[in-house]
Structure 1
Amino acid sequence: MDQLAQAAAAYYRSFATVAAARGLTLMQGKVLSLLRRPMPMRTLAELLACDASNVTGIVDRLEAHGLVRREVDPADRRVKRVILTEDGERTVQEIRAELLATLSGLDELGEGDRHAFQRLLGRLFPAGADA
């Protein structure tokens, strides 16, 4: 558990640094990285384990930067979905690429080890596969 905690802490330090280089907070970067598809605000709050009002503030700032937009869910007009803009998609790609470059320890793993590591993480944290 200590090693997992250390790995997570190192990852989030790197993530925060990469996000900050783009004028984003760690949480703003996390929201962008979660938006692989349009997502309701409430779902974002659940994934981030925070209050919906916090997500509203984060999304407000991302929207002001032109990285996301809100739209009404066609299935339920009471629900607002958050969607990446083109600039948001580009920012997510840049963040992911830079993170991969900074996590050099993964480069030391062979392809088989990387796949095994990914499978093990999927077994430990099955909900993470959908997020």
Structure 2
Amino acid sequence: MARMVALFHKEYEEAAAARSLTGAQAKVLGLLRLGPLPMRQIAQTLSCEPSNITGIVDRLEVRGLVERQADPGDRRIKRVVATEAGRAASSELRASLHFAREPLAALGQEERADLRDLLRRVVDGAAGPTTGGSARSSHPSG
């Protein structure tokens, strides 16, 4: 798994750099694909200090990729919104990532669903104790 994560991380960083983005900037743009987010939530999702997110958002804003807006429910909260250019950059970056697509293309739809479910169990298990059960061992562990 460490090799898989390292390969994905390397490709992601290279794809971001090809667009003159840092990995952190690309991650923020990726998060904003889901819609506007409060700066604090971005920091929590990326497990970093809010002051770091401020710097990242500042640099993205200067490039016209994001803008800050007051939250309609609480004007003290600043939400970050991807601009059209930011959404395009994020889409272009995602489209350029081949590592995640190509290896998974070798798997059938049921195998991809099995892999997703197994990985979800691994991630959920890392968050705390599980109630039992064992992973199927019929899948190769490349």
The TM-score range, normalised by the shorter chain, is 0.7 to 0.9
Equivalent AA in structure 1 for residue 12 of structure 2: F
The corresponding residue for 2:80 is: 82
| Structure 2 CA distance for aligned equivalents of residues 71 and 90 of structure 1 | 19
What is the CA distance between 1:98 and its match in structure 2? 1.0
Cα distance between partner residues in 1 of 2:111 and 2:43? 33
TM-score, normalised relative to structure 2: 0.80
Q: Which is greater in Rg? A: 2
1:102 to partner: Cα distance: 3.6
Alignment match, 1:129: none
- Pick which of 59-68 and 115-124 moved more: 115-124
Q: Which residue of 2 aligns with 1:73?
A: 71
Q: How many residues align?
A: 122
**Correspondence 1:30 to 2:14:** no
Which of the residues 83, 94, 105 maps onto 2:92?
94
Selected match of 1:20 from 11, 17, 24: 17
CA distance in 2 between partners of 1:44 and 1:27 (Å): 11
Counterpart residue number, 1:116: 114
SS in 2 for 1:50: coil
Secondary structure in structure 2 of the residue aligned to 1:71? strand
What is the TM-score when the length of structure 1 is the normalising length?
A: 0.86
Looking at secondary structure, tell me which structure has more strand per residue: 1
Query: C-alpha separation between the residues in 2 aligned to 1:71 and 1:28?
Result: 18
Amino acid at match of 2:50: A
**Match for residue 7 of structure 2?**
10
Give per-residue Cα distances to partners, 1:36-66, cap 9 Å, x unaligned.
1110000000011111000000000111111
Alpha-carbon distance, 1:118 to partner: 2.0
Secondary structure in 2 aligned to 1:77? Answer: coil
Q: What do you get for the CA RMSD once the two structures are aligned? A: 1.3
Q: Where does structure 2 lack aligned partners over 5 or more consecutive residues?
A: 125-142
Deviation at 1:92, TM superposition (A): 1.1
Judged with a 3 Å threshold, the aligned counterparts in structure 2 of structure 1 residues 102 and 5 are, in CA distance, closer, same or farther, namely: closer
**Unpaired segments ≥5 residues, structure 1:** 127-131
